[in-house]
Amino acid sequence: MSSSQSARQENGVHYFTQGWTLISLPGIRRFVILPLAVNVLLMGGAFWWLFTQLGEWIPAMMSKVPSWLSWLDYLIWPVAVLSVVLVFSYFFSTLANWIAAPFSGLLAEQLEARLTGKPLPDTGIWDIMKDLPRIMKREWQKLAYYLPRALLLFALYFIPVIGQTIAPVLWFFFSAWMVVIQYCDYPFDNHKVSFADMRRSLGSNKIDNMQFGSLVSLFTMIPVLNLVILPVAVCGATAMWCDRYRDVYVKNNIDVNSTRK
What are the per-10-residue average pLDDT scores of the chain (261 residues)? 50 94 89 81 72 64 59 59 66 74 87 86 61 81 90 81 76 91 93 93 93 91 80 95 90 45 42
Q: Is the pTM of this model over 0.85?
A: no
C-beta separation of 210 from 12 below 8 A = yes
Closest CA to 234 of 136, 45, 96, 121: 96
- Sign of the CA dihedral with 142 first, then 236, 108, and 250 last: negative
**Separation between Cα atoms, residue 215 and residue 170, nearest integer Å:** 16
pLDDT at residue 176 in the model? 92
For residue 256, give the 3-state DSSP assignment. coil
pLDDT at residue number 1: 47
For the chain, give the number of residues: 261
| pLDDT in the model for residue 115 | 93
Sort strands 250-251 and 254-255 into parallel, antiparallel or unpaired. Answer: antiparallel
Could you give the CA distance from residue 163 to residue 84 in angstroms, rounded to a whole number? 12
pLDDT score for 127:
63
Q: Do residues 235 and 107 touch, judged by C-beta distance below 8 A?
A: yes
120: DSSP letter: -
CB burial readout 186-200, b (16+ within 10 A) else e: bbbbbbbbebeebbe
